[in-house]
Amino acid sequence: MADYFTHFSCLLDVSAPENAARAIEIYEADCADGALEAQFSNGFFVSVPSEDAGSQLWMRDEGAGDPESVIRFVKICASEFGLSGCWGFQYSNTCSKPRLDGFGGGAHVLDLATGETVDWIDTENWIAQTIADAGGKS
């Protein structure tokens, strides 16, 4: 039996150490809720790197993660702290055994001011569509 994993590691600058502390509180409150419908805490871990001045959040999987959970959390932080500009991250999909559907990845870019997606790509769908558009078979 094969195990599937999604891996990522990214930073979000929330502008101030106070904002980083509040973001950790938001994350921990979601974790403590224990509800199955938790917004984001089941899909990644977050901390403030010790070498940082305190305004950056480090979000990462620890085994397998959920990119959609990261996106929801970043949107909450952006709204809560009035962030602007673009932010993005990439992820990889891997498998414990060689499988045709076991490898790929993607990337997502958000406009922090609006919470809207600027662009995104999923390599599994991208490659299939690109080959189909070129008249080939995937």
pTM confidence score: 0.87
Give the per-residue pLDDT at 94.
Answer: 92
Give the per-residue pLDDT at 38.
Answer: 55
Q: Count Cβ neighbours within 10 Å for each residue of 97-107 and write b for 16 or more, e otherwise.
A: eeeeeeebbbe
Compute the average pLDDT of residues 64-70.
90
* pLDDT digits 0-9 by tens, 12-38: 999 999 999 999 999 988 776 555 455
Domain range annotation of the chain: 4-133
Share the mean pLDDT of the chain. Answer: 88
Could you tell me which residue, 137 or 75, shows the higher pLDDT?
A: 75
Distance CA 77, CA 68 (A): 14
User: Taking the mean position of all CA atoms in its chain, how far away is CA 128?
Assistant: 23
% of the chain beyond a pLDDT of 70? 88
**Residue 93, number of CB atoms within 10 A of its CB:** 19
